[in-house]
Amino acid sequence: MSTTTVANKHAVADTMTMLRRNIIHAKRYPSMVFGILIMPTVLLLVFNYVFGGALEKSSGGEYIDYLAPGMLLLLPAYMTVSVAVSIATDKSKGIVNRFRVMAISQSSMLTGHVLGALIQALGGMAVMTGVALLIGFRPNANLLEWVAAFGLLTLVTFAFTWLAIALGLLSPNPESASNAPFPIVMMPFLGSGLVATDTMPVGLRQFAEYQPFTPITETLRGLLMGTEIGVNGWVSLGWCAVIAGGGYLWSKSIF
C-alpha cells in the first residue's frame, strides 16, 4: 500500500495546502491548541512562584534564570500530544481516503502537520519567553546565541514531531493517541530542567543524566545564560538527528 510512486513534483505546494487545512482546524477548534500552548507557560509561573523560593539555593542564583531555559522545552514535549491526536483523528476520517486516491504528494499529509507543529511551538515559545522576561528572566545571550537557541528549539520540535507522527499513526483512535506521547511529556521534568540532577536519588539521576532532554536543556541554558556547554551541544544535535531520523523512518514505514 505504501510502495506507490508519489507525485513528488507537487510536494511543496501540497504541504502548504495541508498546512492551510491544519491552520483552519486550529482556528475552528482552538481549545486543543490553547491548552497545549498555554499550559507550559502556566507551569512556568507555578514552578517559579511555588518552588522558586525554596530552590533558589540549589540553582545558585535567580531561579527563573535556571528554570526558563528548561521550561521552553515543555513546548516541543506538549506538542507531541497535539500532533499525535491530529494524525489519529485524520486517520479515522473519510477525507484521508480521498487524499489517498488523488495524484498528490502523499507524504504532504504528514509534512503539513510537521510545519503546523513548528509554527505553533515557536509561537508558544515566544509567548513563554515574553512572560519569563516579564517576571525577571535576565538572559545574557547576544543575538547569535538567541538565534542558536531558537534554532535548537526548532530542531528539537522537528525531531519530536516526527516521533509523535509515528505514535499517532500507530494509535487506533484519537483517545489512545492522546496518551501515547505521555512518556515524552514527562521527560523534561525528569531531567535538569527544574533542578540540578545531582540532587536526585541514584536511579533517577542516572536516567536524568542520559536522557536527551538533559543535554538539550544544558545547551540551551549555556546559550542563554552563558553556563558551560561542553560536549552537550554535540550530544544534543546527535539526539535530535537520531530522534528525527528514527521518527521519520518509523512514520514512513507505517504510513
CA gap 206, 43 in Å, rounded: 25
| Contact flag: residue 57 with other proteins (CB under 8 A) | no
| Contact flag: residue 1 with other proteins (CB under 8 A) | yes
Phi-psi region of 209 (alpha: psi -120 to 50; beta: other; left: phi over 0): alpha
CA gap 248, 164 in Å, rounded: 10
**Nearest distance, CB of residue 244 and other proteins, angstroms:** 24
Q: Are 59 and 196 in contact (CB under 8 A)?
A: yes
**Nearest distance, CB of residue 1 and other proteins, angstroms:** 5
Q: Establish how many alpha carbons lie within 13 A of residue 241's alpha carbon, considering only the half-sphere containing its beta carbon.
A: 6
CA gap 164, 162 in Å, rounded: 5
| Contact flag: residue 194 with other proteins (CB under 8 A) | no
**Nearest distance, CB of residue 66 and other proteins, angstroms:** 41
The count of chain residues that interact with other proteins, using the rule CB under 8 A, is 29
CA distances from 141 to 126, 146, 180, 226 (A): 16, 6, 36, 7
| Contact flag: residue 99 with other proteins (CB under 8 A) | yes
Question: Going by C-beta distance under 8 Å and a sequence separation of 6 or more, which residues neighbour residue 73?
Answer: 153, 156, 188, 193, 213, 216, 217, 220
| Contact flag: residue 138 with other proteins (CB under 8 A) | no
| Contact flag: residue 146 with other proteins (CB under 8 A) | no
Interhelix angle 143-170/213-225, nearest 10 degrees: 160
Which backbone phi and psi does 67 adopt, to 5 degrees? -75, -45
Nearer to other proteins, 28 or 57 (CB): 28
| Contact flag: residue 103 with other proteins (CB under 8 A) | yes
| Contact flag: residue 13 with other proteins (CB under 8 A) | yes
Nearer to other proteins, 100 or 138 (CB): 100
**Nearest distance, CB of residue 36 and other proteins, angstroms:** 17
Residues 27 to 56 in contact with other proteins, rule: CB under 8 A: 28-29
CA gap 16, 57 in Å, rounded: 49
**Nearest distance, CB of residue 107 and other proteins, angstroms:** 14
How much is the CA Rg of the chain, to the nearest whole Å? 19
**Nearest distance, CB of residue 81 and other proteins, angstroms:** 19
| Contact flag: residue 92 with other proteins (CB under 8 A) | yes
Nearer to other proteins, 207 or 250 (CB): 250
- Among residues 12, 42, 46, 95, which is the contact residue for other proteins, using CB under 8 A? 95
**Contacts with other proteins, residue ranges (CB under 8 A):** 1, 4-7, 10, 13-14, 17, 20-21, 24-25, 28-29, 91-104
